[in-house]
Structure 1
Amino acid sequence: MSGQQPGSAGASAVFQPLEGDDPTTVAGYRLAARLGAGGMGKVYLSYTPGGRPVAIKVIRPEFGEDAEFRRRFAQEVRSAQRVQGLFTAPVIDADAEGTRPWLATAYVPGPSLADAVVAHGALPVETVLLLVAGMAEALQVIHGAGLVHRDLKPSNVLLASDGPRVIDFGIAHAADATSLTGSGVTIGTPSFMAPEQAAGRRVTPATDVFALGQVAVYAATGVPAFGEGTSHGVLYRIVHEQPELGAVPERLSALVTRCLAKDPEARPTVAEVIRLCQEANAATVLRRPEDWLPGAVSAEITARTATPAPAPAPAAAPAPLPTPAPAAPAQPPAHPPTAPAGPPAGYAPTAPAGPVPGHSPTAPAPVTPAPAGPPAAAPSVPTPPPHAGHAYAPTQGPAPAPYPGSGAYPTAPAYPTPYPNAPYPNAPYPNAPHPGGRPPAARQSPVKRTLLVGLAAALVFGVGGAATAYVLTKDDDKNNSASGNGKPGERTGTGGSSDASSSDDTGGGTTPSGKPSAKAEPKPAEFKNINLTAGYHLTLGDQVVRPQDGEDGGYELSYDTGGYLDAESTGGNLVLLDPGQEATLAACRADTRFTREVYVNKLSPGRQICVTTGTGHMGLVTVKAFSPEESPSTYITLDVTVWRNGAL
């Protein structure tokens, strides 16, 4: 049982303001917004005393007036509080005896499956498999607590970032025997009922499995398995006709066909449903990545995470003011006010100080006498810059000297290069915290200064001599080129070649015409069905890429026994591509979401990883499958595409 059914029509309509007929508090919970409404009541957002958001469902008054409903509601709440599954929203509080029964569950920041399909269309097959498997796990826990959901439908399944959440389990059972059902009201949604439920026969856990198959069809196609229309028409088709499964993807066909069997005994158990999902996933283990939902649905989760704050508690009524005593005769002020009487002006930080509101102008604050001596200007002293590498630009007045004996702050870094052993620019100098992270320059002796001047003169003379030699050599080359048969830059005779013609033909040097040569794109080399065992690595530069023993030691891609793929080589990195993202050399070059490791439990068949090695190669890794549970070794099956020397 749960109480959360968020509103639809996008994130802007999720948190609706409270209206006139909405309560502001429920048993001490201050309500912050309305999340939605359904056949059983309204759902509100509130918070625990510790600040955690919760969803509170307040039951409709007509249900609260029925004594049998209250009895069953209390019983279902006690059972629901034993349900503690990963794919259910736990019930944390409830009251079946109040004026209007209510219950509170953990708030799940995600749209319902119904809202997601209406807004964004049918879901991918991989997402549907993970959705159905998560719902099956939720049903295992619900059935284990002695409950049958009875109303499993898309609006009772919330899509969170880490998997689905099944809500409202058991609440339909509490309403079954009320006076409302006797008057012809059917508890449950017709499009997702089981045949035995529609016919009024006994409800069992197999009833939820039938509804699970219908939810799977809706998630994969966007329409119910038995169509839409009037309640009576849909119920007739559920009992007497076969579902329409023509649009269901082939990988889901066996799963939904077995779940939608008319005979409850022919339907699979929830454990078998999970196994069917694994078989349809072409692997024996389902792994749920963080981005298991399409991007548009994930964006709604982000919007729903920013919950509004609850309304502040109403302030207590102010105490009545005492009756004022008769006013005394007015006395002339000791000091006339300096401003005309009137209402006090609003506070303005930049306005000059004036009389404080509430204080009489006849009692000015004491003035501290100025010290003796001529008045001295008090320029604003700016805060010194954090280090000498920051130029200082004063806005008024002269700046004080940063160090004793200097004239002003330097306008350029005091040192042309950072401390050579510093781990980063302007890092603190070891054992001596000097400004700017650099040691102060030592004063030079006259002898050392003379030596430096002489060295500089020699350096100038050497550079001048080298330049003269270059000019003479250049002129000589011109004469040789003019007298020969070749053009400048071409080979002449057999004795040698010029610098331009000796560059690497494939390295992007210059052509004989002097223009840069276009570097040819590397051709991909493909290696299929590599079983990379934990503790082994791949070297993309090898002629044949195959697993080799070792998981640490500068390798280019290794499967660490800790459960992750690792870019071992210096300068190497990985990028996990999004589902459906283009997987090309250009895409791998452009994507900068670098990481050094990707955990295998975040991967699923079909996911792709760009690999850049420290040796300049690029690769694309495609996940194919994982080792089965009964396998004596742990491995992952990969397809690898390598572009040697493809890194820019």
Structure 2
Amino acid sequence: MNGHETAGAFEPLAADDPPMVSGYRIAARLGAGGMGKVYLSHTPGGRPVAIKVIRPEFAEDAEFRRRFRQEVQSAQRVQGLYTAPVIDSDTDGPIPWLATAFVPGPTLAAAVAEHGPLPARTILMLVAGIAEALQVIHGAGIVHRDLKPSNVLLAADGPRVIDFGIARAADATSLTASGVAVGTPAFMAPEQAEGGEISGATDVFALGQVAAYAALGAPAYGDGPSHGVLYRIVHEEPDLSRLPEALRPLVTRCLVKNPSGRASLTEILDLCRTAADQTQLRRPEDWLPEGVAAGIAKRPQTPAPIPTVVVPNATPLPPTRTATPPPHQAYAPPPAYGPTYPGPSPHAGPPPYAGPPPHAAPPAYVTQPTYAAPQPAPAGPAPMIVIPRPPGSNRTAVALIWIFAVLFFLVVGCAAVLGAVGNDTTRGGAGSTPDATSTAPRPDPKPVEYKGLNLADDYQLNFADDTLTPREDSGDLSYRCSSGICHFGASGSKLARLDSGTEGSLQVCRQETRFTGEIPVAALSKGDAMCLRTSEGTIALIVYRGSSPKNDPSTYATLDVTVWRAAARKD
């Protein structure tokens, strides 16, 4: 899903587009992709953002929900110079969505389609910027999986990589299993085409394809039916004879079939510097070709935030007027977007006007009696209208009713409390002898501590063991690494990462509810803690103390573990 597929064109909202998403007022539609629609909105301070609303088909899939929640949590940690960061999201609402920074520039796909192949100088700076973005993304434990020209934006000061890791949420869901494709076959790696293991090297192969596309104006492995393209990616070598000489070593090192033989991101940056004949790549303001830069300068002005218009002393017209406002003036968002409104939204001002109370006739229009003629329709989406309560209501009567109601409930409540106290005293309450059948709260179990425990790659800990020792078969906490990216995972247990600096304890782990299926080691600092709760009721506090050095023949993580057995519930 790409938020800028139309390269800067702001489309008006259609009848089925929401006027608001969880407090974000929608100003225009930016585009659509395989996973949903993308809209332009603004933060309360006026900064433009891209709101990506997931398709309902994906939202109904429980496995997609689980993975989408994990990927968004990981993506929020990515704060690179060449990425569009995730700034807000709702992964649990009726329709999931996320908000990213809006980048005023076309996609690489749109720029090449309009202006043709890019010069080698631009491509070297493009590839260097994407490589730096991937370093930050991989450092957060994320593999992009869908790096392609439509997921790279061209801004005046450099490229931006978007939608990192989101494609993983669609893998293995019932929707993709039924034949809905997510991703672009022409930019997949061989291991993706064959359903193999995905790693950071997968993104390196895609980066080589993106560079070739920018230089040739077409995919390196050609177009055509998906199965034919994927066959060539797995079994054939691309024709790179038309590539500029300065780009061939770089692209060739990226497009190695075996993931272990591909260039690292550090090597890619070195190749870019060597090809540019510079010790350090410089990104001047004119890094883009003149035509692309001119297009960015001339692109339509970003629509302004939708204002809130308050009409004072509004008086409803007679109910015989039944005209209907246009779809984008609807007073409340459709129920499919965002949760039921519980109160003031953190992202916006007053909530949209929801109409008069149920006992009043719903007016179709609300206006001021001094208006002599209808006003001309403004350009673009009309402002959301918030209308205050009409004057003339009998506030004194309403206040008296509330006072009598409060007094009534106070009297009833006091009577109930006094009755409960009397019954409690009869049964053995305050001042009486405790009932013989009453039991005291069970004390907390004694903790068992394991200091400096080394958990090797592909080994697990089973907290039902009398002595905690890493094992190769099934367990509650696993440690797995692939292509230099390591994760802690939980199978049949609940795992949660505590905030950095939080002092872990049994009570803290009992109260923790931010569970996840896996935690990347890149997201942890030495001393950070995790809580694990097994299905048998055991609670464990796991403190990360570091990982094995690079020159060590074994890959492992060092942990301090404290175990409380049968502690999940305190009777």
Give the TM-score normalised by structure 2: 0.54
Q: Is 1:273 aligned to residue 268 of structure 2? A: yes
Q: Quick check: 2:2–2:38 contact (8 Å CA) kept in 1?
A: yes
Secondary structure of residue in 2 paired with 1:217: helix
Identify which of 177, 189, 192 aligns with 1:197.
192
* Structure 1 segment 362-373 matched on structure 2, within 5 A: none
* Structure 1 segment 143-182 matched on structure 2, within 5 A: 143-182=138-177
Change in CA separation of 1:344 and 1:293 when aligned onto 2, cut-off 3 Å: closer
* Structure 1 segment 131-146 matched on structure 2, within 5 A: 131-146=126-141
What is residue 209 of structure 1 aligned with on the other side? 204
What is residue 416 of structure 2 aligned with on the other side? none
Change in CA separation of 1:146 and 1:185 when aligned onto 2, cut-off 3 Å: same
Change in CA separation of 1:229 and 1:289 when aligned onto 2, cut-off 3 Å: same
* Structure 1 segment 378-393 matched on structure 2, within 5 A: none
Counterparts of 2:201 and 2:182, CA distance in 1: 17
What is residue 238 of structure 2 aligned with on the other side? 243
**What per-residue deviation string (whole Å, max 9, x for no partner) do you get for residues 476-524 of structure 1?**
xxxxxxxxxxxxxxxxxxxxxxxxxxxxxxxxxxxxxxxxxxxxxxxxx
**What per-residue deviation string (whole Å, max 9, x for no partner) do you get for residues 13-41 of structure 1?**
x1000001111100010001001100011
What is residue 215 of structure 2 aligned with on the other side? 220
Q: Quick check: 1:4–1:105 contact (8 Å CA) kept in 2?
A: no
Identify which of 47, 55, 59 aligns with 1:60.
55
Q: Is 1:233 aligned to residue 231 of structure 2? A: no
Q: Quick check: 2:191–2:202 contact (8 Å CA) kept in 1?
A: yes
**What per-residue deviation string (whole Å, max 9, x for no partner) do you get for residues 327-382 of structure 1?**
xxxxxxxxxxxxxxxx9899xxxxxxxxxxxxxxxxxxxxxxxxxxxxxxxxxxxx
Q: CA deviation at 1:311?
A: 3.6
Q: CA deviation at 1:163?
A: 0.4
Q: CA deviation at 1:61?
A: 0.5
Counterparts of 1:277 and 1:116, CA distance in 2: 21
What is residue 112 of structure 1 aligned with on the other side? 107
Give the TM-score normalised by structure 1: 0.48
* Structure 1 segment 61-80 matched on structure 2, within 5 A: 61-80=56-75
Q: Quick check: 1:258–1:268 contact (8 Å CA) kept in 2?
A: yes
Give, as a single letter, the amino acid of the residue that structure 1 aligns with 2:3.
Answer: Q
Change in CA separation of 1:275 and 1:314 when aligned onto 2, cut-off 3 Å: same
Counterparts of 1:131 and 1:322, CA distance in 2: 62
Give, as a single letter, the amino acid of the residue that structure 2 aligns with 1:257.
Answer: T
Q: Is 1:263 aligned to residue 267 of structure 2? A: no
Counterparts of 1:293 and 1:263, CA distance in 2: 33
Give, as a single letter, the amino acid of the residue that structure 1 aligns with 2:214.
Answer: A
What is residue 22 of structure 2 aligned with on the other side? 27
The gaps in structure 2 that reach 5 residues or longer are 320-370, 375-571
RMSD of equivalent CA atoms: 2.3
Give, as a single letter, the amino acid of the residue that structure 2 aligns with 1:156.
Answer: N
Counterparts of 1:21 and 1:116, CA distance in 2: 29
Secondary structure of residue in 2 paired with 1:301: helix
Q: CA deviation at 1:296?
A: 1.4
Q: Quick check: 1:25–1:31 contact (8 Å CA) kept in 2?
A: yes
Counterparts of 1:322 and 1:45, CA distance in 2: 37
Q: Quick check: 2:61–2:175 contact (8 Å CA) kept in 1?
A: no
Secondary structure of residue in 2 paired with 1:268: coil
Q: Quick check: 1:56–1:103 contact (8 Å CA) kept in 2?
A: yes
Counterparts of 1:322 and 1:262, CA distance in 2: 73
What is residue 47 of structure 1 aligned with on the other side? 42
Q: How many residues of Structure 1 are paired with residues of Structure 2 in the alignment?
A: 323
Give, as a single letter, the amino acid of the residue that structure 2 aligns with 1:86.
Answer: L
Q: Is 1:98 aligned to residue 98 of structure 2? A: no
What is residue 5 of structure 1 aligned with on the other side? 3
What is residue 406 of structure 1 aligned with on the other side? none
* Structure 1 segment 499-578 matched on structure 2, within 5 A: none
Higher Rg: 1
**What per-residue deviation string (whole Å, max 9, x for no partner) do you get for residues 427-473 of structure 1?**
xxxxxxxxxxxxxxxxxxxxxxxxxxxxxxxxxxxxxxxxxxxxxxx
Q: Quick check: 2:46–2:305 contact (8 Å CA) kept in 1?
A: no
Q: Flag the structure with higher strand content.
A: 2
What is residue 355 of structure 2 aligned with on the other side? none
Percent identical pairs in the alignment equals: 69
Q: Quick check: 2:5–2:150 contact (8 Å CA) kept in 1?
A: no
Q: CA deviation at 1:247?
A: 1.0
* Structure 1 segment 366-515 matched on structure 2, within 5 A: none
What is residue 497 of structure 1 aligned with on the other side? none
Counterparts of 1:99 and 1:313, CA distance in 2: 26
Counterparts of 1:321 and 1:60, CA distance in 2: 39
Q: CA deviation at 1:320?
A: 4.3
Q: CA deviation at 1:67?
A: 1.0
Q: Is 1:288 aligned to residue 286 of structure 2? A: no
Counterparts of 1:344 and 1:249, CA distance in 2: 68
Q: CA deviation at 1:315?
A: 6.2
Give, as a single letter, the amino acid of the residue that structure 2 aligns with 1:90.
Answer: P
Counterparts of 1:222 and 1:147, CA distance in 2: 29
Q: CA deviation at 1:321?
A: 7.1
Give, as a single letter, the amino acid of the residue that structure 2 aligns with 1:18.
Answer: L
Counterparts of 1:306 and 1:181, CA distance in 2: 37
